[in-house]
Structure 1
Amino acid sequence: MSHFDEKAASWDDKPHRVAMGRAIACAVAFHLDSARRPRLMDYGCGTGLCSLSLAERCAIVWGVDSSTGMLAQFEAKARAAGFDHVFARQHDLTVTPLNDLEPDVILCAMTLHHVRDVEILLKRFYEMLSPGGLVAIADLDQEDGSFHQDTRGVYHHGFRRKWMREQLCAAGFARVNFETVYEIEKTTATGTLRRFPVFLATARAPR
């Protein structure tokens, strides 16, 4: 059992996680095409704090995660909301692609710092997206390692936006933009109250 499986049942108990999920979802919604309902894949979906807030605007939502515990929470929340177009998939895209999905939008929120090989994941996103599709990545700005007291599965202490732009362009994406969508206020291990900015990077696959 992974530590995410262990934490899944109580994941939504922290108000800042719920607030951040809503803030990210609101920012992503601004970039959605109002003329049609997209197919959305939420990679590293967790309990669905972001994507389930967008489900009513989507034709289909795939929540993809490697944690069975998180996916169980995701499915339970989707059923409770009455969504019949929301589906859970257990998968690790850095190991093998998902060739049976072609999303119009890929959302990846607070997941990338848990991914060892960011470059291959971005390439998989690019290969999956429909022409003109949107990728939306929310994560921490680069920090000094103070954010995570439990560092299991943490491979990056946030990201420099310049580096993230370069990786998205190298994967094939264009029209890369950044905005700050949230700030997490957190007491670090040294007892210092810190604010950690969260960016949203959006980019498009060519048509």
Structure 2
Amino acid sequence: MGNTDKFEMIANTYDTPDRMKIAKVSSDAIRQYLVDAKSKKAIDFGCGTGLVGMNLLNEFDSLLFLDTSPNMINQIKQKITDVNNQNVDTLCFDIEKENLSGVHADYVFMAQVLLHIEDVELVLSRLFNVLNEGGHLLIVDFNKNENIVSDMVHNGFNPEELTDIMTKIGYQDIQFKTIYTGSKIFMGHDASMFILDAKKE
């Protein structure tokens, strides 16, 4: 379900005004949950063209942009060159296929990524292993929307159900709230987005 092929094709034209607006909503929401992040390492997981992570570049000591799509990663590399930030790196990697070994972070954030992931529990488990103790996983995604039927993506998530899965994995202090409601923002349908914050003790 990762939809890498699709993202490969649209990488050059991905940054539309609508996507940039949603990215700003997402990054503003993530910023509210950061504590003493200036000394912390972060990963923008499933970063796409980096629309969310680029808004948060100055919040962390270092930031790794990670995506399965080489073309998306190339877009990021261009943006990084433009801003000349030394504490930024990129990695093309598919965590659905293998463990991300040797990489650790204090914050992992993912915006509208989970809906593209087939085995949600597997990926959330692997990200748990990436987090340092005391680290946080921040998920921004769509609330479940029964009007959407697709083979390509999940039709959003029920944060309570996500909480159950994550608690089983070992995440703690899980909290979530709806942060945005918009017109035609999810596959042509009106939808709302939530942010979920979970901690690894």
Same fold (TM > 0.5): yes
After the TM superposition, which residues 43-192 of structure 1 pair with which residues of structure 2 at under 5 Å, given as runs? 43-146=45-148, 151=150, 153-154=152-153, 156-186=154-184
Letter of the aligned partner of 1:200 in structure 2?
I
Cα-to-partner distance string for 1:6-34 (whole Å, 9 max, x where unaligned): 11111112x22111111111111111123
- TM-score, with structure 2 as normaliser: 0.91
1:6 aligns with one of 5, 9, 19: 9
Moved over 3 A (4+): none
SS of residue paired to 1:47:
coil
Gaps of 5+ in 2: none
Q: 2:23 aligns with which of 21, 24, 29?
A: 21
Q: Report deviation, 1:152.
A: 6.4
Structure 2 residue 200 is matched with structure 1 residue 202? no
Change (3 A) 1:35 1:114: closer
**Count of residues paired in the alignment:** 198
Query: 1:68-124: per-residue Cα shift (whole Å, max 9, x none)?
Result: 111111111121122121111111112111112110000111011110000010101
Which amino acid counterpart does residue 11 of structure 1 have in structure 2?
A: Y
Q: Is the 8 A contact 2:105 2:132 kept in 1?
A: yes
Please say if residues 16 and 184 of structure 1, whose CA atoms lie closer than 8 Å, have aligned partners that are also in contact: no
Q: CA deviation at 1:43?
A: 0.9
Aligned-partner Cα distance in 1 for 2:80–2:180: 25
> Could you say what the CA RMSD is over the residues aligned between the two structures, in angstroms?
2.0
Q: Percent identity of the aligned residues?
A: 25
* CA contact 2:110–2:138 (8 Å) conserved in 1: yes
